[in-house]
Amino acid sequence: GAVVSQHPSRVICKSGTSVKIECRSLDFQATTMFWYRQFPKKSLMLMATSNEGSKATYEQGVEKDKFLINHASLTLSTLTVTSAHPEDSSFYICSARDFTPRRVSTDTQYFGPGTRLTVL
């Protein structure tokens, strides 16, 4: 089946540094990728929808200058957490949607393995 990779799988950084997380679709093209954040024992919260070649669409309450998203190609989206603080520590998960949105069922939205960010 389709595979989505994320890198790094885990990162520990000092407060104030910026962290970049990559999300790649390995065997399909993804015009749309989604970025989620999940705190312990909480639901996945959609942060933003990333569209190839255009600006990301952020959910209410998510600071676009804090969480920079770039979707430069059909197989790569990056999320940069700028000036990270301890409250940004979370599990960040991306998902990638197959090339033809809504033509097929939503089980073509494939999730990456997640990136666990710890900010000291």
Partner 1 sequence: RKEVEQDPGPFNVPEGATVAFNCTYSNSASQSFFWYRQDCRKEPKLLMSVYSSGNEDGRFTAQLNRASQYISLLIRDSKLSDSATYLCVLEGTDSWGKLQFGAGTQVVVTP
Distance, in Å, from the CA atom of 109 to the CA atom of 120, rounded to the nearest integer, reads: 33
- Using the minimum distance from each CB to partner 1, give the nearer residue, 70 or 82: 70
CB of 27 vs partner 1, minimal distance in Å? 17
Interface residues toward partner 1, by CB under 8 A: 32, 34, 36, 41-46, 49, 57, 91, 93, 95, 97, 101-102, 105-107, 109, 111-114, 116
Would you say 57 and 48 are in contact if contact means Cβ atoms under 8 Å apart? yes
- Using the minimum distance from each CB to partner 1, give the nearer residue, 82 or 111: 111
- Using the minimum distance from each CB to partner 1, give the nearer residue, 70 or 111: 111
Would you tell me how many other CB atoms lie within 10 Å of the CB of residue 59?
Answer: 12
In order, the DSSP letters of 29-98 are --SEEEEEEE-TTS--EEEEEEETTS--EEPTT--TTTEEEEEEETTEEEEEE-S--GGG-EEEEEEEE-
Local structure of residue 17 (DSSP, 8 states): -
- Using the minimum distance from each CB to partner 1, give the nearer residue, 76 or 82: 76
Distance, in Å, from the CA atom of 7 to the CA atom of 11, rounded to the nearest integer, reads: 9
CB of 16 vs partner 1, minimal distance in Å? 26
